[in-house]
Structure 1
Amino acid sequence: MYLKDADNTRYILKKHESSNVVLCPMHKSEDVSMSVEDISEMQAEIIHYKRNGFQAYKGIIPFAFDHYTKIITLKTALARLKGRCISGLKSDSETISRDRYNLLRLLVTDYVNQRPSRVSSGFTQREVIAMLYGTLWYKHIKNESFSRKIALLLESLVITGDLSEEGKVYYVQGQAITTMVEYEKEDQRVTHQQKMQKKITRFMFAITLSTLLIILVLLSMAGVVDLAAVWQKILQIKPLRFLMNFI
């Protein structure tokens, strides 16, 4: 369990003694004793390490709730499964572009909302891979693929000025916000165009269907087509037989 006070001093919960708790300040050797009431005002984070990663909780209440219901764990698993399915359905070019944006958004979000367990505002390549694929990513059969892909994405973000690199540690820059805004605008424009294209397609289909109906009515009025007979034949068509004949 990690704690952070108003002065951004970070602690690790060491043990509990009656109504007090013993905290270990990060990068310091002296322990600190505080009351439970004092730590209730701090920002808390509970990290539960699991098989292929970890689950972070923003306090004891979410942790206890998930311990008995597993709702947060299930939600996280479904979100990861959804991400894998979407990545598998996308084309390579779109996946690379979207992965680049998602990686940048992940780093910006983690930088802005720096958790009590993090003491540095920078990210190493191994930390980024662990954030995306879990702490045991190096045991996966595709660990080399993960490492190379993230290395290329990070290098790309450094080239565009979204990140800066100092001693193999990457730091978020202000250019990242501009890049994210431009990507979201472009994504909204493409989505709007796709919606307009669907509406135009539906409109053209409706016009075509209306034209066919008008032609049938005119032919019926001219005595060329007997609509009643046509309708009876349509009702007599068996879907399975029609499908087999069509195939």
Structure 2
Amino acid sequence: MTTPPDAALHAALDRADAALLARLSATRACPSDLLGRMVRHPAPRIRHLGLTLLAERLDEPGSGPGHDPGSRRGEPGPGGGATEDRGSGQVDRLTRLLPDSPGSSPEESLLLARLHARIAVRRPAHRLPDWRAGRLPVRVRIAWLRAELLGDPAVLRTEPVGELLYRAVRECRAADAHRPDRLVAELVDTGDPVLRIEALRLARDGLHAGLLAPAFVRGRLLHLVDAPDHDVVTGALHALAEPWAAVTPVAQAALTRVVGRVARYAGPAARQSRHRH
């Protein structure tokens, strides 16, 4: 009689033998039903191992977002964005294995937050557990808020502005967001100077990574030229002076505004330079 290939894994799980499970899972793929049992197991070590294996499964070929390299985020892709749905079935199956809670310990909650953040870029409208209800450490709350922002930038419309939000946004990258164009646009629309500086960073990163269209980025930069904050305007003007921004002509009205802003900010600097020399 032949022993089923997964019998040893299930037997190790029945005994809560985390060490044996780790060794066995290193040499064979864990079936989905076993992963589901592991991430909901009463023993913390087993749950942690299950979540780690689930994260590895997300990295396997066929479970990625499948973006068409010929299109940029921020402009329509071929087939109305159908390329982003490739491999979504595998991601959906793995997502259903996750527990409904934000974790029973800070370490587990942090691991879950990072998992949900990785899923957010692959799965539109991904829902997170109610992490706000618990009393989580600040570092863990930042990770959960980052996961929310990456999946749904509209959170910025209701999230209180403060250090928690600032730190969550600073840990975001354009490549991690499901819609980096929406994230940049929402950050710009907050009107907050700190968040607008982060919008400049993400816009530049998304542009150079090929995730955002130059026309989209330039449009947001032209909007920031009218901001009341010196650092925001200076950052936008520096970006608009880069070669990529001159690929297509700028409307006369927008160009006049930019030139006026350059004169306004260059004037004091020039006077200071003359006084020094």
- TM-score for the superposition, normalised by structure 1: 0.26
Structure whose residues are more often helix by fraction: 2
- TM-score for the superposition, normalised by structure 2: 0.24
Structure showing greater radius of gyration is: 1
Structure whose residues are more often strand by fraction: 1
